[in-house]
Amino acid sequence: MSTVSTEAMEFGRLTIAFDDRVLRPRPWTAAQSDWAAEILAAGPAGRVLELCSGAGQIGLLAIADNDRELVCVDLDPVACDYARRNAAAAGVAERVEIREGRIDEMVRDRERFAVVIADPPWVRRTETGRYPEDPLLAIDGGDDGMDIAWDCIDTARLHLMPAGSLLLQIGTVEQVDAVRERLRGDDLAVTEVRWHERGVLVRIDRL
Ligand SMILES: C[S@@+](CC[C@H](N)C(=O)[O-])C[C@H]1O[C@@H](n2cnc3c(N)ncnc32)[C@H](O)[C@@H]1O
């Protein structure tokens, strides 16, 4: 019988609980929280939607120092349990709703959000074996790594309010190029890209 032991780590000023059934929080991704908080400070009023939220740390840190409400969506029930627990530990549980399910099924038609944070699996299926410690559901992005990222962009297109922003995490130059190409002529546009050692953050604004 396997045993599960809960760990905790600092993520920005939050303490995040997780275990090895979910993706281990990656410290660099606090940059996604910080950028989202920056956008929220200047952007329209309204709620934040986090897609592929895992244990919730990126979205929770983004709203920790403001009064925004956050809706987190993840398919993995274990990740959702940790997100609930981490929201409570951060003292923001009353502003956070956790929805367990597929991102394309968990947002109601009429809902609109000021900012969408998305952290989909973005590893190419043929390369997932390089990361044996990571749960497959958390990293397998399909043939080109973009299967779930496209779902995130489609969900943002439907549910971002005017002047709202999607902050998307992906992994490679090719993936950034594919996003630019897909959004050519769209009412969503890439407005800034920030490169990090282990991933890339793409800001996509509703024009
Ligand atoms: C790269 S992990 C990110 C988790 C967390 N944001 C983090 O940084 O640790 C991707 C997450 O997407 C979830 N996921 C994968 N496919 C999904 C889908 N179709 N709908 C909702 N969540 C999904 C996984 O369960 C996993 O928690």
pLDDT (tens digit per residue) in 94-125: 999 999 999 999 999 999 999 999 999 999 99
Task: Please say if the pLDDT value at position 182 is more than 90.
Answer: yes
Please report the atom of ligand 1 found closest to the CA of residue 79: 27
Q: Which of 19, 73, 75, 169 to mutate to test the pocket of ligand 1 (most atoms within 8 A of CB)?
A: 75
**Domain residue extents for the chain:** 7-206
Domain boundaries 7-206, CATH class: alpha beta
Contact between residue 43 and residue 109 where contact means Cβ atoms under 8 Å apart: no
Q: Is 60 in the pocket of ligand 1 (CB under 6 A)?
A: no
Phi, psi of 205 (to 5 degrees): -105, 145
Does residue 1 carry a pLDDT above 60? no
pTM of model > 0.75: yes
Q: What is the pLDDT of residues 28-86, one digit of tens each?
A: 999 999 999 999 999 899 999 999 999 999 999 999 999 999 999 999 999 999 999 99
The pLDDT score that the predictor gives to residue 3 is 81
Cross-strand partners of 140:
123
Verify whether ligand 1 is closer than 6 Å to residue 140 (CB atom).
no
Q: What is the 3-state secondary structure (H, E, C) of 174-207?
A: HHHHHHHHHCCCCCEEEEEEEEECCEEEEEEEEC
Nearest 5°: the CA angle 114, 112, 47 is 45
Query: Sign of the CA dihedral 156, 184, 203, 39?
Result: negative
User: Is the CB of residue 74 below 6 angstroms from any atom belonging to ligand 1?
Assistant: yes
**Contact 50 CB / ligand 1 (< 6 Å):** no
